[in-house]
Homo-oligomer: A and B are copies of this chain.
Amino acid sequence: MLKTGSLGIVGATGAAGSKILEILQEENIKPSDLRLFASEKSAGKQITFADKIYEVENLQTADFKGLNTIFFAAGSSISKDYALKAVSCGAAVIDNSSAYRADPKVPLVVPEINFNEVNASTRLIANPNCSTIQLVMAIAPLHRINPVKRLVVTTMQSVSGTGFKGVEELKKQVSQTLKGVYPEPEIYPHVIAFNLIPEIDAFNPETDMFKEEEKIIFETNKILASDIKISATAVRVPVYSSHSESVNLQFEKPFSADEARYVLSNAEGISVIDAPRNSLYPTPLDCAGSNKVFVGRIRDDLSAPNSLNMWVVSDNLRKGAAWNAVQIYMRLISSGYTS
A interface, CB within 8 angstroms of B: 150-152, 154, 156, 170-171, 174-175, 178, 189-191, 194-199, 203, 205, 208-210, 229-231, 233, 235, 237-240, 244, 246, 248, 257, 276-277, 279, 281, 283-286, 296-297, 299-304, 307, 309, 311
A sample of 9 more A-B contacts (CB under 8 A), given A150-B304, A196-B244, is A190-B279, A196-B239, A197-B283, A198-B246, A198-B283, A198-B297, A208-B300, A230-B303, A231-B303
Q: Which of chain B's residues has its CB closest to A245's CB?
A: B154
- Chain B residues lying within 8 Å of A304, measured Cβ to Cβ, are 150, 229, 231
Indicate whether A239 sits within 8 Å of B178 (C-beta atoms), given known contacts A257-B208, A286-B190: no
A64 to chain B, nearest CB (A): 38
A279 to B187 Cα, complex, angstroms? 13
Indicate whether A203 sits within 8 Å of B156 (C-beta atoms), given known contacts A194-B240, A246-B235: no
- Chain B residues lying within 8 Å of A154, measured Cβ to Cβ, are 154, 246
* A205 x B277 contact (CB < 8 A): yes
* A190 x B285 contact (CB < 8 A): yes
Q: Which of chain B's residues has its CB closest to A234's CB?
A: B246
* A195 x B285 contact (CB < 8 A): yes
A196 to chain B, nearest CB (A): 5
* A296 x B198 contact (CB < 8 A): yes
A65 to B309 Cα, complex, angstroms? 49
Indicate whether A195 sits within 8 Å of B152 (C-beta atoms), given known contacts A174-B178, A208-B299, A246-B233: no
A170 to B235 Cα, complex, angstroms? 20
* A279 x B174 contact (CB < 8 A): no
Q: Which of chain B's residues has its CB closest to A174's CB?
A: B174
- Chain B residues lying within 8 Å of A210, measured Cβ to Cβ, are 276
A205 to B277 Cα, complex, angstroms? 7
- Chain B residues lying within 8 Å of A230, measured Cβ to Cβ, are 303
- Chain B residues lying within 8 Å of A196, measured Cβ to Cβ, are 156, 237, 239, 244, 283-284
Could you list 24 examples of A-B contacts with CB < 8 Å?
A150-B304, A152-B248, A152-B303, A154-B154, A174-B174, A189-B279, A190-B279, A190-B283, A194-B238, A194-B239, A195-B239, A195-B283, A195-B284, A196-B283, A198-B296, A209-B299, A229-B302, A229-B304, A231-B248, A231-B301, A233-B246, A233-B309, A238-B238, A248-B248
